[in-house]
Amino acid sequence: MTDPIKISALQLENVKRVRAVALTPTENGLTILGGRNGQGKTSVLDAIAWALGGDRYKPTGAAREGSVLPPDIRITLSNGLLVERKGKNSSLTVTDPEGKRYGQKLLDAFVGTFAIDLPRFLHASDKEKAETLLRVIGVGDQLKELEHKCEDVYSHRHAVGQIVTQKEAHAKELPFHEGLPEEPVSASDLIRRQQDILLRNAENARKRARKAELEQRRIDLDKQIARLMNEANQVVADLKVAEMDALDLYDESTAELEQNIRDVDMLNAKIRQNLDRRRADAEAKAAADQYNDLTNQLEKLRADKRALLDGAALPLPGLTVENGCLTYKGHRWDCMSGAEQLIVGTAIARALNPSCGFVLLDKLEQLDAHTLNIFNGWLMQHGLQAIATRVSTGSECTVIIEDGGLRPDFPPITEGSQQGARAPEPSTPFRTWKAGEF
């Protein structure tokens, strides 16, 4: 990959509040344009945005009031291109070192939108910020799909959870009797057994009658014994057989079965209740099993989401997307400090267009000296150039803008120092940024 493009030199005349400002910004890290309010600091950034971003970024009052000369902007880029806006119409010319001319299209290829207009990111909605980050890390579609699945499983589980509660309550309300058979007892079986016994008893009665009849006959035959000797002998023989038959007869009792028949309805009612209860318990358990299964699915989807984001190359440690919102160290945008917001925005602007090596930052006074120091370290570590404004005339400033120009006596000339832009020299020397800081 070719080196990211930076701003090597800058000359502005008669743009907004600027009379004349010439700068050679620091290649890596902060170039701080200091000064009091209304002196032209932001006008410098506006001029850069206009020159590099196109007429979309043209300030409404681009020409300096009171100047007879039109705006004149010259920006030399680190790839050798000279970008100029000058003349009555402030027309753009882009020239390479061989004198070849280009247009806005070439600039658009490597000038990041957020790099020249960070407020556009800073003031975007939470959702837009998250979408921008997901675009940077390239996992937006997959994350959306996982989030949809999570929502589906969550609402399905919620419905099943309500069914579990209902079914468990219903099962608990049903009575249950200990020590009974699993299946209802059949009454017809008992009745059949009773009928068999009654039949056998009827047979016994018949046999008894037969015996009595024969006895009667014997008495009759005795009377006719002479005449009916043969018949009497036969009858005697028959009688012997009949007597033998009658010898081992006994009658069975049906009392127990009668009792069982009386009890069977009550018994079966209880057994059916037990069956209902077992069925209700089983249904409640099945619903609870389904609920647990959905919980596992939900946990797996959430883990997939985490893994997707953890596996993506995030532009800043601690920066991620949670529930569709961008978070930094677990905090949503409105809970980040101004400094953190600036850092997050800068990191995203950087990641969004890797060929753009610079970013314009307005109002850096929201960073205290310590944070400014760490931020500068982070910029340098990432090879990023930042041109920033700050309401301050302290030693952390690279130049001081005063009445639309550079304050001539700043920085105070000491041995070895040069007039004009130079690396910032804050009271505490800049130190290296460590991963996880901010």
Ligand X SMILES: Nc1ncnc2c1ncn2[C@@H]1O[C@H](COP(=O)(O)OP(=O)(O)O)[C@@H](O)[C@H]1O
Q: Footprint of ligand X on this chain (CB under 6 A)?
A: 16-17, 35, 37-43, 61, 64-65, 389, 401
> Does 42 interact with Mg ion (rule: CB under 5 A)?
yes
Q: Smallest distance from the beta carbon of 37 to ligand X, in angstroms?
A: 5
Whichever of 258 and 403 has its CB closer to ligand X, that residue is 403
Number of neighbours of residue 3 by Cβ within 10 angstroms: 10
Tokens at residue 193, please?
């057994």
261 φ/ψ sector (left φ>0, alpha ψ -120 to 50, else beta): alpha
Residue 219: is it exposed, middle or buried by C-beta count within 10 angstroms (0-12/13-18/19+)? exposed
**Which one of ligand X, Mg ion, none interacts with residue 167, CB within 5 to 8 A by kind?**
none
Whichever of 41 and 305 has its CB closer to ligand X, that residue is 41
The separation between the first and the last C-alpha atoms of the chain, rounded to the nearest angstrom, is: 29
C-alpha neighbours within 13 Å on the C-beta side of residue 339: 15
Amino acid 340 reads E
Whichever of 65 and 141 has its CB closer to ligand X, that residue is 65
Q: Smallest distance from the beta carbon of 412 to ligand X, in angstroms?
A: 21
Q: Smallest distance from the beta carbon of 31 to ligand X, in angstroms?
A: 15
Q: Longest Cα pair distance anywhere in the chain, in angstroms?
A: 176
Whichever of 315 and 405 has its CB closer to ligand X, that residue is 405
Cis peptide before 411 (omega within 30 of 0): yes
Q: Smallest distance from the beta carbon of 44 to ligand X, in angstroms?
A: 7
Whichever of 14 and 327 has its CB closer to ligand X, that residue is 14
DSSP 63-130: BPTT-SSPPEEEEEETTS-EEEEETTTTEEEEE-TT--EE-HHHHHHHS-HHHH-HHHHHTS-HHHHH
Whichever of 211 and 363 has its CB closer to ligand X, that residue is 363
The whole-angstrom distance between residue 33's C-alpha and the CA centroid of its chain comes to 43
**Which one of ligand X, Mg ion, none interacts with residue 112, CB within 5 to 8 A by kind?**
none
**Which one of Mg ion, ligand X, none interacts with residue 418, CB within 5 to 8 A by kind?**
none
Question: Can you tell me the distance from the alpha carbon of 352 to that of 134, in angstroms, rounded to the nearest whole number?
Answer: 10
Number of residues that bind Mg ion (CB under 5 A): 2
Q: Smallest distance from the beta carbon of 320 to ligand X, in angstroms?
A: 34
Question: Which of these ranges, 35-43, 147-155, 174-182, 217-225, lies near Mg ion under the rule CB under 5 A?
Answer: 35-43
Whichever of 164 and 359 has its CB closer to ligand X, that residue is 359
> Does 341 interact with Mg ion (rule: CB under 5 A)?
no
Number of neighbours of residue 114 by Cβ within 10 angstroms: 23
**Which one of ligand X, Mg ion, none interacts with residue 39, CB within 5 to 8 A by kind?**
ligand X
Q: Smallest distance from the beta carbon of 371 to Mg ion, in angstroms?
A: 19
Q: Are 288 and 136 in contact (CB under 8 A)?
A: no
Q: Smallest distance from the beta carbon of 64 to ligand X, in angstroms?
A: 4
**What distances in angstroms separate CA 61 from CA 15, 36, 57, 65, one per listed residue?**
8, 21, 12, 8
Whichever of 31 and 327 has its CB closer to ligand X, that residue is 31
**Which one of Mg ion, ligand X, none interacts with residue 414, CB within 5 to 8 A by kind?**
none
Q: Smallest distance from the beta carbon of 42 to Mg ion, in angstroms?
A: 3
| Residues making up the chain, counted from first to last | 438
**Which one of ligand X, Mg ion, none interacts with residue 64, CB within 5 to 8 A by kind?**
ligand X
**Which one of Mg ion, ligand X, none interacts with residue 14, CB within 5 to 8 A by kind?**
none
Give the residue at shortest CB distance from Mg ion: 42
Q: Smallest distance from the beta carbon of 390 to ligand X, in angstroms?
A: 10
Question: Can you tell me the distance from the alpha carbon of 314 to that of 28, in angstroms, rounded to the nearest whole number?
Answer: 21
Contact residues toward Mg ion (CB under 5 A) are 41-42
